[in-house]
């Protein structure tokens, strides 16, 4: 039951992440296209209004989310059809009896020390928190371009050129100083490190953590 629920949650989160990426990419494409059209067709020396750009970016976000959702539905149908075909092929084949060997041997490992257990589980929890925080930050960047958030969210996003480590090349990177984005990225990391360290410490104190 829990395994099935976990798989369902993972698939749902993956679908939402795919939709967020689609919305973010299409919003930027629509906004960049609107900027190019304005630069080509406009003769005015004044700064253009941000409303047309915002409107087209909202449209791009909706289109990107819709395309990602349609693609996910098509892929799901194709996988279901493929699994049904495989089941039909297995039903036509004769059943083969297989014997499984069961081993009664049980190895006992050395108990892990308290500090090594805290360090390992803290690092593992921090890594998982980093993955979750990165995905939540991606969600925030995508939702900031949607028509359902305050205009200040998208206005706080800027594109900066940063040097790649080990090379003299520059790479464009999206940055923001919005506190919601910073909390969405930082809180999961802090919680992951803290929770992992607590689990490792309690497990080592109770003798439940062993070295391989």
Decide if 200 contacts 122 (C-beta within 8 A).
yes
Residue range 145-157: average pLDDT?
A: 85
Q: Which is more confident, 124 or 164?
A: 124
Task: Reply yes or no on whether the pLDDT at 163 is more than 50.
Answer: yes
The whole-number pLDDT of residue 99 equals 47
Round to whole Å and give the CA distance between 45 and 56: 22
Round to whole Å and give the CA distance between 80 and 175: 40
SS3 of the chain: CHHHHHHHHHHHHHHHHHHHHHHHHHHHHHHHHHHHHHHHHCCCCCCCCHHHHHHHHHHHHHHHHHHHHHHHHHHHHHHHHHHHHHHHHHHHCCCCCCCCCCCCCCCCCEECCHHHHHHHHHHHHHHHHHHHHHHHHHHHHHHHCCCCCCHHHHHCEEEEEEECCCCCCEEEEEEECCHHHHHHHHHHHHHHHHHHHHHHHHHHHCCCCEEC
Q: What is the mean pLDDT of the chain?
A: 81
Residue whose tokens read 């049904």: 84
Round to whole Å and give the CA distance between 63 and 142: 13
The whole-number pLDDT of residue 164 equals 65
Round to whole Å and give the CA distance between 144 and 138: 10
The whole-number pLDDT of residue 192 equals 94
Round to whole Å and give the CA distance between 117 and 48: 58
The whole-number pLDDT of residue 26 equals 93
What confidence tier does 151 reach under pLDDT thresholds 50, 70, 90?
confident
In the chain, what are the domain boundaries? 13-39+49-82, 112-158+172-212
**37-41, 51-55, 58-62, 164-168 — which is least confidently predicted?**
164-168
pLDDT (tens digit per residue) in 65-109: 999 999 988 988 888 888 877 777 766 655 554 445 454 554 445
Percent of the chain at pLDDT > 70 equals 78
């Amino acid at each position: 039951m829990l395994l099935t629920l976990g798989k369902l949650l993972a698939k749902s989160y993956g679908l939402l992440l795919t939709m967020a990426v689609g919305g973010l990419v299409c919003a930027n494409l629509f906004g960049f296209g609107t900027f190019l059209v304005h630069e080509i067709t406009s003769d005015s020396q004044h700064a253009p209004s941000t409303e047309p750009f915002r409107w087209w970016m909202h449209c791009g976000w909706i289109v990107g989310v819709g395309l990602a959702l349609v693609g996910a539905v098509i892929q799901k149908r194709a996988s279901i059809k493929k699994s049904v075909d495989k089941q039909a092929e297995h039903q036509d084949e004769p059943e083969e009896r297989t014997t499984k060997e069961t081993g009664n041997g049980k190895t006992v490992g050395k108990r892990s020390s308290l500090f090594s257990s805290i360090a390992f589980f803290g690092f593992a929890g921090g890594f998982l928190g980093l993955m979750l925080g990165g995905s939540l930050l991606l969600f925030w960047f995508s939702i900031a371009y949607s028509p359902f958030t305050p205009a200040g969210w998208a206005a706080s996003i800027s594109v900066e050129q940063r040097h790649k480590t080990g090379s003299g090349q520059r790479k464009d990177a999206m940055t923001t100083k919005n506190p919601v984005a910073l909390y969405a990225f930082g809180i999961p990391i802090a919680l992951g490190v803290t929770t992992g360290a607590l689990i490792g410490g309690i497990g080592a104190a109770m003798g439940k953590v062993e070295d391989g």
